[in-house]
């Protein structure tokens, strides 16, 4: 189709925001295997903290992006997955209810572990002009790690609040958080220690430049 009259591709324009909150694989039926139950035990309390963080982020004007497995269902869409998790009374229902996407949230379906691989995530972040990502979700040692790694390759600044990430094994979760801190230069402070007034605010040219410079020198 032609693009001449869609000057900025934005349609119902996405917010501009130097920061974006990313929720990885939180919409999940947790029905895949016996290990799901182990993960669920850690994931449920974490989901409550992500829900709090999402509320505070929204109040600060920071958009939320659901980056979610398509679970091999190439024909379905995100809303169908949300309905499945909630209406079919799956094990993932309590988490899906806590973190049910609102109409103003963004979403990206990922076919593989990294949210950047074979998806439109990077382009969406460019349109938002986001340079800092707050990464949360499951599981810490696989999809969160690989998405954070791809974000680091692309020079995004990373916050991975350590109380907003869960894995099936607590020790693996610890190791992977330390790894992201050391190698991806991720800030892993507690979600309650994130000061949104400091990092957010509407997109400004000045902050964009600072972000760009920061990104070049880090």
Binding to a copy of itself, residues 140-159 (CB under 8 A): 141-143, 146, 149-150, 152-153
Per the CB < 8 A criterion, the answer to whether 31 and 91 are in contact is yes
Q: How far apart are CB 141 and a copy of itself at their closest, in Å?
A: 7
**Alpha carbon distance, N-terminus to C-terminus of the chain:** 40
Q: Among 58, 127, 181, 196, which residue sits at the site for a copy of itself (rule: CB under 8 A)? A: 127
SS3 breakdown of the chain: % helix, strand, coil, rounded to 5?
45, 15, 40
Q: Among 60, 95, 138, 151, which residue sits at the site for a copy of itself (rule: CB under 8 A)? A: 138
Residue count of the chain, please give it.
218
Pairwise CA distance, residues 122 & 150, whole Å: 10
Q: How far apart are CB 195 and a copy of itself at their closest, in Å?
A: 26
Residue whose CB is less far from a copy of itself, 72 or 89: 72
Residue 190 makes contact with a copy of itself by CB under 8 A: no
Q: Judged by CB under 8 A, how many residues of this single chain contact a copy of itself? A: 71
Residue 197 makes contact with a copy of itself by CB under 8 A: no
Return the H-helix or E-strand segment holding 132: strand 132-138
Per the CB < 8 A criterion, the answer to whether 215 and 157 are in contact is yes
Binding mask 85-124 for a copy of itself (x = CB under 8 A): ------------------xxxxx-x-xxxx--xxxx-xxx
Pick out residues in 23-82 that bind a copy of itself (CB under 8 A).
24-25, 28, 32-33, 35, 39, 69-75, 77-79
Q: In sequence order, what are the residues at sequence separation of 6 or more whose Cβ sits closer than 8 angstroms to the Cβ of residue 65?
A: 20, 21, 22, 23, 105, 106, 107, 108, 121, 124, 125
Residue whose CB is less far from a copy of itself, 184 or 194: 184
Place of tokens 């600060």: 60
Residue whose CB is less far from a copy of itself, 3 or 197: 3
């Amino acid at each position: 189709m032609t693009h001449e009259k869609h000057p900025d591709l934005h349609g119902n324009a996405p917010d501009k925001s130097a920061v974006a909150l990313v929720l990885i694989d939180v919409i999940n039926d947790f029905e895949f295997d016996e290990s799901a139950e182990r993960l669920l035990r850690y994931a449920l309390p974490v989901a409550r903290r992500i829900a709090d963080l999402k509320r505070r982020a929204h109040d600060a004007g920071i958009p939320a992006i659901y980056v979610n497995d398509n679970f091999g269902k190439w024909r379905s869409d995100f809303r169908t997955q949300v309905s499945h998790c909630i209406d079919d009374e799956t094990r993932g229902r309590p988490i899906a209810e806590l973190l049910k996407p609102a109409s103003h949230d963004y979403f990206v379906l990922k076919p593989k572990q990294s949210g950047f691989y074979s998806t439109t995530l990077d382009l969406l972040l460019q349109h938002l002009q986001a340079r800092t990502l707050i990464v949360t979700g499951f599981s810490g040692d696989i999809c969160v790690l690989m998405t954070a790694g791809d974000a680091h390759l692309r020079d995004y600044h990373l916050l991975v609040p350590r109380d907003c990430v869960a894995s099936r094994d607590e020790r693996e979760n610890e190791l992977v958080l330390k790894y992201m801190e050391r190698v991806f230069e991720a800030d892993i402070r507690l979600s309650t220690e994130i000061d949104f007034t400091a990092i957010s605010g509407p997109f400004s040219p000045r902050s964009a430049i600072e972000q760009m410079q920061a990104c070049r020198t880090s």
